Amino acid sequence: MLTLRQIEVVRAVMVTGTIAGAARLLNVSAPGISRLMKYTEDTLGFRLFIRRHGRYDPTPEARDVFDLIDTVYKKVEDLQTAIDRMKRGETKELSLGSVPSIANVMVPRAVERLRGRYPQLRIDINILKVEDAVDYLLLGKGEVVAMSYRFDHPIVTFAPLARGRLLCIVPQGHPLAGRRSVSPDEIVRYPLIGIDPSDPFGSIMAEIFARRRLPYDTTIRARFGSTVCSLVASGLGIAVVDQFTVAHGRVPGVVCLEIDEDTGFETYAAHRNDGPLSTYAEDFVAMLRDEMRAVTASEAPTRE
């Protein structure tokens, strides 16, 4: 049986008519072509070419199989073309979801890197509530969801992304704006803007006050961290947000303060466990993990 390499060499000699021409076409050495041709003829048990005046003329046997060889070669070329298109992401689409806190800064940075690797990949991004993530995955609407909360589910796997922390954000000019850190006791002295404590993400914020039995008043509630930041920048109160929402100084008009309390929380990439992720989804998760861990490794919050 001929190998694909032998088929490629036979076709090259047929097309160019010389060993040297075949070598140039395939970008290899002429002696290598000669050796492979001799081995191929020995394997087949009949000659494929007759040398006349420096050229290699195909034998009748070679002409009989040339059309088949050419068909196989074109199929191999089609296969390589398809592989090259997959490498670029051409005609493919990745659908992914994210909770708002990770979607604000982290997901766009990971998607930028993903697009650099697969320039023609179509990407569909959905901002989801935690409670909507399971349906999104189970109904096949997307492959993966970036989450700040996990729960037990027989079909959904939660792969760790990064361990983040909470920060206190205050408007510029606020009495706390000159501080590097603040305690929970100090935070509750001011009107708070935040997320409903019954929300899975809101419960992370509420926990830092519950541990110390501190009463607090959330005067304005908003669903998305980006909205909370805008409200704080407008001087309507202060807030506790996760560091990913305000990463890389993307929120003008606010000052970020460390909180003198353990505010760590885990983040996850959720996906179905009854089938493999696509290469594109795997790369997205890896890039998102890199971006988020780079943020958590920073020594101090960004100050505007």
Q: Is 148 helix (H, G, I), strand (E, B) or coil?
A: coil
d(C-alpha 199, C-alpha 166), whole Å: 16
Residues 82 and 97 placed together within one structural domain of the fold: no
Residues 211 and 73 placed together within one structural domain of the fold: no
Of 87, 117, 138, which closes a domain?
Answer: 87
Residues 153 and 171 placed together within one structural domain of the fold: no
The CA distances from residue 31 to 48, 106, 228, in Å, are 17, 55, 72
Residues 174 and 197 placed together within one structural domain of the fold: yes
Q: Is residue 204 part of a domain?
A: yes
State how beta strands 144-147 and 265-272 pair.
antiparallel
Q: Is residue 144 part of a domain?
A: yes
Domain that residue 228 falls in = 164-264
* CA 228, 232, 237, 238 torsion-angle sign: positive
Tokens matching residue 191? 């009107």
Q: Is residue 304 part of a domain?
A: no
Of 54, 87, 120, which closes a domain?
Answer: 87
Quote the pLDDT of residue 34: 87
Tokens matching residue 160? 């760790």
Quote the pLDDT of residue 175: 94
Quote the pLDDT of residue 103: 92
Q: Is residue 302 part of a domain?
A: no
Residues 171 and 208 placed together within one structural domain of the fold: yes
Quote the pLDDT of residue 216: 84
Quote the pLDDT of residue 268: 96
Quote the pLDDT of residue 63: 74
Tokens matching residue 79? 């296969």
Residues 108 and 70 placed together within one structural domain of the fold: no
Half-sphere exposure of 75 (CA within 13 A, CB side): 8
The DSSP result for 53-97, as a single string, is TTEEEEPHHHHHHHHHHHHHHHHHHHHHHHHHHHHHTTT-EEEEE
Partners of 156 in the beta sheet?
Answer: 272
d(C-alpha 129, C-alpha 92), whole Å: 26
Q: Is residue 176 part of a domain?
A: yes
Residues 78 and 130 placed together within one structural domain of the fold: no
Quote the pLDDT of residue 299: 47
Query: What is the per-residue burial (b if ≥16 Cβ within 10 Å, else e) of 267-297?
Result: bbbbbbeeeebeebbebbbebbbebbeebbe
Residues 202 and 250 placed together within one structural domain of the fold: yes
Residues 147 and 108 placed together within one structural domain of the fold: yes
Residues 172 and 254 placed together within one structural domain of the fold: yes
Number of domains in the chain: 3
| Chain centroid to CA 248 | 19
Q: Is residue 180 part of a domain?
A: yes
Q: Is residue 207 part of a domain?
A: yes
Tokens matching residue 227? 């909205």
Are 269 and 107 contacting, i.e. CB atoms less than 8 angstroms apart?
no
Residues 282 and 234 placed together within one structural domain of the fold: no
Q: Is residue 286 part of a domain?
A: yes
Residues 157 and 275 placed together within one structural domain of the fold: yes
Quote the pLDDT of residue 149: 84
The domain that holds 278 is classified in CATH as 3.40.190.10
Instruction: For the chain, 304 residues long, give each residue's pLDDT as a single digit of tens.
Output: 678 788 788 888 878 888 888 888 888 888 888 888 888 888 888 888 888 877 888 887 777 777 776 677 677 766 766 566 666 555 578 999 999 889 989 999 999 999 999 988 899 999 998 788 889 999 989 999 999 888 889 999 999 999 999 999 999 999 999 999 999 999 999 999 987 766 666 777 788 888 888 888 888 988 788 889 999 999 999 999 999 999 987 688 999 999 998 888 999 999 999 989 999 999 999 999 999 999 998 744 444 4
How many of the other CB atoms lie within 10 Å of CB of 260? Answer: 15
Of 87, 109, 134, which closes a domain?
Answer: 87
